[in-house]
Chains A and B, each alone.
Chain A
């Protein structure tokens, strides 16, 4: 039924003058549970559905979406989209062109066994209960703990005027725990977050107890932490934080929409050296079981692995149909929309930096005096200037290769090109993590991966 609606949308839009159309439809269910201490603050289930139609008419884009899942509503949306495109076209000097792609017919199911909507709500609530219990059973200084369980599963369909029609079934679960600790002079908090694209059976393998304990142990250790110093330091980042660094400092600047609009520091840099020889960075939507993996993007293009940086040299951008036409390269399937209701834009999938040859101990041995920063609270980048900022969950002073004093709330910042040059050693312990990435008011799941990394001359922000 979803595919019928999308194909109907394509037909209707072509009928009223679209030269290209892609239509996406969704029918999904979700669960949201939040538990704080002894209380379930939120426990809710919902049904989501809708259709989004994007057209190219007279060389301009138009988009329209509706929540009404009928042929008439879809036909009306198709007309709206074409009318909008014509309004844009009337004054557009540089007409929009896109790369034509070969048609695909496929049906894709990601690797889940137990359908999430068939799992009783009580079992999902149990996940949050276990997390809170594990976090609270630690220490009387833990004064509060909150946990979240969220899932979504359903079916999606995409059809394009190139003749592509694809159906997808997928599911996603995320869960987190926040522990708050207090001493006479200080309030601190620590959070752990993870996600999976597999089904509810994942919890057979996930140790919720140690996950919850990790958050509270970290909160307790922060009670004795010292405010971070500020200035330029040699920094060792753990895999989670290195992953955020790669995502913010390099991944965003490789998004081709920012390249063609002149809003990336990496414009006109293909084939040029942008960092140390040690640095190889990929964005790979085909990564098995990756949090940000997908087989086809939201333009129906088969996604491929992109080697963004190889041994310090910039090799490839992440492209959609429009930017690949503009840059004269094939699309690598980088178009993603937050939902059927959002225009697909260029996004990352799983971005990672390839492991190097060092053990973690060797990295620390290289540091006479510096900072070890762990965990991530996310970050942000201004790609035009290449200025980025990102924050750690936990940090320590490194003195003569040893971790000494725990530090509070360390944030790091830098300039993309300088920092890539200042990477001095890369560990061999790569790990992947789940996250979300925001751009143009859209949030999509994006994974990242990295080993421990040693970088010199990084700006560390602290407080007096």
Chain B
């Protein structure tokens, strides 16, 4: 693997570039598919490729080009490097990125790799999927069970002209389940999922059990009156909202483009006092954890907001050099789904494990403090939120009415709307347990506890 990267970097250097950076990723995955209450297919995939970035210096100015290939023969690598060079020469000078990453710090993160994931057999995947189906088959009202489990192992490595050589191997385990229920008068549905670096069969079983009980609880929903009320929001729903709004607004590249409401807001309150948000790149076993980012820069913990005060944005090497500061290890080559084709996309700025710090309240105490409101566990439509301004309006998929401190019935046909900036300012209670939710990209996660938010607009 490093031979290929070495070849790409040397070939680029021999052809007139001042610096070159080569990136490699390969992934093997096995997944089992559940449909119509049975395991219906097992899929296996092998994916691999190389990406390269080159810097060319002419008259004290830098020119950046990038290309990738899935053809890892020498001829394929040479064609790729030549493409990157011709792109660099076609572009205007690059003002921000004068040099690739030069940090050679070596570090390790625990619990990134699980041999039981990399060596899983189709029969083992089928057995676990069957156990999930069984755990969801708890009532005659369960109409359908579908879902999947994924076992993936992958390697990534970066090498550049400045002597950086940073790579790691890791695994991902994901389980998801979706259940529908039916009685004489209504239909219910709900889903749950889990992702981790380490195999966790018990959590997979819990996912399907949980999906079934939530789908049952959604039967016989009632319409409620709209208005402004308290919202108790679960980790999955909160993660969807943050992923599609806040996570974009704290990227330094977005700030520098003037495409965030948080421009110029460092040191000012952006959330209520109980809210602390960190990006924790080295949380053991978390899906967003890794020793190095996709520029080979060591990952770290960055405090985005502490007790409501905006502390820092997230940086890669390029956005950091624009402000004369250090990267926060948040360069990410985006890839999603069941392969890690990171080589195919240029790095952008992204969170790793975006974490809303836990508070002190139990779920029961949060609910009991609500006179009238709703408890929302899952939403649909968060991707239609405005990523630049933070406005959103979404439909709860799993939601309950809260009256006088007690959860009553499932809620039918409502929408909740607002702006994430106001949502964060109106948090008045933070739960003491959190859940790790899969983020936008394959190696990102959003971790959140249950939150209580006051004054949310609910339409009915």
Contacts and interface: CB of A to CB of B under 8 A. Distances in A.
A247 to B, nearest CB: 13
Contact of A92 (B39, B385, B456): B39
Contacts of A125: 90-91
A168 interface: no
Contacts of A182: 258
Contact of B68 (A46, A61, A391): A46
B44 A411 contact: no
B76 A84 contact: no
A342 to B, nearest CB: 8
A14 interface: no
A63 B122 contact: no
A63 B32 CA distance: 10
Nearest to B92: A40
Nearest to A222: B389
A461 B415 contact: yes
A187 B264 CA distance: 14
A183 interface: no
B361 interface: no
Q: Which of B92, B178, B413 counts the most chain A CB atoms within 10 A?
A: B413
A443 to B, nearest CB: 9
Given A384-B144, A384-B187, A390-B381, A60 B40 contact: yes
Nearest to B262: A187
Nearest to B390: A187
B380 A441 contact: no
Nearest to A438: B383
Contacts of A40: 91-92
A68 interface: yes
Contacts of A80: 44
A463 B391 contact: yes
Given A44-B67, A262-B36, A391-B381, A341 B90 contact: no
Contacts of A36: 257, 259
A341 B42 contact: no
A462 B393 contact: yes
B45 A64 contact: yes
B162 interface: no
A413 to B, nearest CB: 5
A231 interface: yes
Contacts of B460: 231, 459
Contacts of B284: none
Contact of A391 (B46, B393, B457): B393
Report which residue of A47, A49, A85 has the largest number of chain B beta carbons within 10 angstroms of its beta carbon.
A47
A47 B76 contact: yes
Interface stretch (B98-106, B196-204, B299-307, B333-341): B333-341
A84 B43 contact: yes
Contacts of B39: 88, 91-92
A66 interface: yes
A189 B245 CA distance: 13
A238 B66 CA distance: 40
Nearest to B318: A41
Interface string B437-460: 000000000000000000111111
Interface in B364-422: 380-381, 383-386, 388-389, 391-395, 397, 413-419, 422
A62 B31 CA distance: 10
B257 A92 contact: no
Nearest to B40: A61
Nearest to B143: A262
A434 interface: no
A341 B45 contact: yes
B295 to A, nearest CB: 14
B228 A464 contact: yes
Nearest to B344: A46
B443 to A, nearest CB: 15
Contacts of B64: 43
B226 interface: yes
Interface in A103-128: 120-122, 125
A228 B80 CA distance: 50
B36 A261 contact: yes
Nearest to A123: B90
B41 A63 contact: yes
B348 to A, nearest CB: 8
B261 interface: yes
Contacts of A202: none
A410 interface: yes
Interface in A48-79: 48-50, 60-69, 77
Contact of B393 (A39, A49, A387, A409): A409
Nearest to A36: B257
Contact of B417 (A50, A60, A92, A462): A462
A93 interface: yes
12 contacts: A46-B67, A62-B42, A62-B122, A66-B46, A88-B42, A91-B39, A121-B86, A180-B259, A263-B146, A388-B380, A463-B419, A464-B457
Interface of B: 30, 32-33, 35-36, 38-49, 51, 64-71, 76, 79-80, 83-84, 86-87, 90-92, 95-96, 121-123, 125-126, 130, 143-144, 146, 178, 180, 187-189, 226, 228, 253, 257-259, 261, 336-339, 344-346, 348, 380-381, 383-386, 388-389, 391-395, 397, 413-419, 422, 455-460
Given A62-B122, A87-B121, A121-B87, 9 more contacts: A44-B68, A87-B122, A125-B91, A187-B261, A261-B144, A379-B384, A380-B380, A384-B189, A385-B187
Q: Shortest 10 CB-CB distances between A and B: which pairs?
A: A461-B415, A411-B393, A230-B459, A391-B384, A389-B381, A87-B122, A61-B41, A84-B42, A461-B393, A389-B395
